[in-house]
Amino acid sequence: MFIRIEPSSGVPIWRQIADQIRSQCAARNLSAGDRLPSIRELARQLAVNQNTILRVYERLTMEGLLDRRHGDGTYVAAAVQAANLEAVQKDLLANQTEQLVRRALTMSVPRQEVHRLIDEVFSRAESQPQSPQEQTHDE
């Protein structure tokens, strides 16, 4: 499991970690039953406090994405529904959009320019064929 933290992003570290785990589940890079690193192990890998990882795991467990088994570890929940994954993907997109808007505001990029850039990226993406993995997720 690969997670990257950007301390200067303005997004709390716990949220960056949670969003990336959600994203990996939504993209099916993490599947039902997959074991996540222990709290101690992930905290060490990311050089963050163990309480940060505990908070993430508890939150994702409450959301139904993870299953914490006392004494055995933390796993991707077996009962993750497709509708739940779709909601997760929309939440992630909303969070990423918010980050984009905040960055644009910080850089004093006008709203119209951000819209133009997004339209440009959409046009480019729509004209390129999707990879087999992307096609699977869209079906």
Q: What does the pLDDT read at residue 87?
A: 73
The whole-angstrom separation of Cα 19 and Cα 21 is 5
The model carries a pTM of 0.64
pLDDT over 80 (residue 122): yes
Per-residue pLDDT band for 108 (boundaries 50, 70, 90) equals very high
Pairing of strands 73-76, 35-36: antiparallel
The whole-angstrom separation of Cα 79 and Cα 32 is 7
Strands, DSSP E only, in the chain? 35-36, 66-69, 73-76
Encoded tokens for 99 = 């980050």
In contact, 114 and 101? CB cutoff 8 Å: yes
Q: Give percent of the chain above pLDDT 70.
A: 87
Each residue's pLDDT tens digit, 23-63: 888 778 888 899 999 999 999 999 999 999 999 999 999 88
The whole-angstrom separation of Cα 26 and Cα 96 is 15
Per-residue pLDDT band for 138 (boundaries 50, 70, 90) equals very low
Dihedrals φ, ψ of 79, to 5°? -95, 25
Find, among 30, 49, 29, the residue nearest to 39 by Cα: 49
Other CB atoms within a 10 A radius of the CB of residue 67 amount to 19
Encoded tokens for 24 = 């990996």
The whole-angstrom separation of Cα 102 and Cα 105 is 5
Q: What does the pLDDT read at residue 48?
A: 96
pLDDT over 70 (residue 72): yes
